């Protein structure tokens, strides 16, 4: 039973930045270290890697496709989550609240297993705290239409499949046509901060299955 196996994650040490670096080009790793050291006082965000059983009792996890809008994270694949609000008691509460707001899964239906390694995002100056959560009952999704374009349900087996990682060519402010490691999941390309967080999730799950 996945829920029993994955609960062992609570007692595991975090893979940390070593897991993140698997999804970052080698020449970017030193720059990442400098960015983290030189960062301004960052804004805080919390996101949720939510695992749940589908109708066939297979284990899935949830990603979202964000709406197209004026902003850095427009039209990106991401975990549900968002910016901390003053009313949040802590950053875990932020991740839970935002998950309920964006995809309609009640806070009470999520068992948070572990907080993962933070990821700093320089363009938006956010320090993101990811969490692994497990749905504790039947869930249905309700999209927050202002922010979420689509829900992307991904098989856990696809996440664990190393063949789902490939090199994506991108052009950024620092280089042209750079090969960046990415996941190909349900037809979507997942790279950047979300891929870094997913890499740590993957490393943890592989230790308990």
Around Cβ 154, how many Cβ atoms within 10 Å? 19
Beta carbons within 8 Å of 177's beta carbon, 6+ residues apart: 169, 170, 171
- Tens digit of pLDDT at every position of the chain (209 positions): 678 888 899 999 999 999 999 998 776 666 666 666 556 688 999 999 999 998 888 899 999 998 865 554 446 899 999 999 999 999 999 999 999 999 999 999 999 999 999 998 877 889 999 999 999 878 899 999 888 999 999 999 999 999 999 998 876 655 667 788 999 999 999 998 999 999 999 999 999 98
pLDDT confidence of residue 51: 95
CA 199 to chain centre: 9
Under DSSP, is residue 180 helix (H, G, I), strand (E, B) or coil?
strand
Residue 29: predicted pLDDT: 65
**β 43-53/119-121 pair status:** unpaired
What residue segments make up the domains of the chain, in order of their start?
2-160+190-203
Q: How far is CA 143 from CA 58, 87, 92, in A?
A: 22, 22, 21
- State residue 112's pLDDT score: 96
Integer Cα distance of 164 and 158 in angstroms: 7
User: Whole-model pTM?
Assistant: 0.90
Q: Domain spanning 2-160+190-203 has what CATH number?
A: 3.90.79.10
Following CA atoms 63, 64, 70, 73 in sequence, which dihedral angle do they give, to the nearest 10 degrees? 0
Cα–Cα distances in angstroms (integers) from residue 81 to residues 34, 58, 84, 116, 150, in the given order: 26, 24, 9, 14, 14
Measure Cα distances from 41 to 17, 31, 124, 135 in Å: 20, 18, 12, 33
């Amino acid at each position: 039973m996945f829920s029993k196996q994955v609960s062992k994650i609570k007692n595991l040490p975090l893979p940390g930045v070593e897991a993140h670096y698997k999804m970052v080009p080698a020449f970017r790793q030193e720059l990442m270290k400098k960015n983290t050291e030189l960062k301004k006082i960052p804004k805080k965000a919390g996101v949720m890697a939510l695992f749940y059983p589908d109708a066939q009792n297979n284990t899935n996890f949830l990603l979202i496709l964000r709406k197209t809008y004026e902003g850095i994270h427009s039209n990106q694949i991401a975990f549900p989550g968002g910016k901390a609000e003053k009313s949040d008691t802590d950053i875990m509460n932020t991740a839970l609240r935002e998950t309920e707001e964006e995809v309609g899964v009640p806070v009470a239906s999520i068992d948070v297993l572990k907080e993962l390694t933070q990821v700093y995002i320089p363009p938006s100056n956010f320090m993101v705290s990811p969490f692994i959560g497990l749905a504790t009952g039947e869930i249905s999704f309700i999209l927050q239409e202002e922010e979420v374009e689509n829900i992307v349900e991904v098989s856990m087996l696809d996440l664990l499949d190393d063949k789902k990682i490939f090199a994506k060519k991108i052009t950024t402010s620092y280089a042209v046509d750079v090969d960046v490691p990415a996941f190909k999941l349900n037809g979507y390309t997942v790279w950047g901060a979300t891929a870094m967080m997913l890499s740590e999730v993957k490393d943890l799950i592989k230790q308990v299955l």
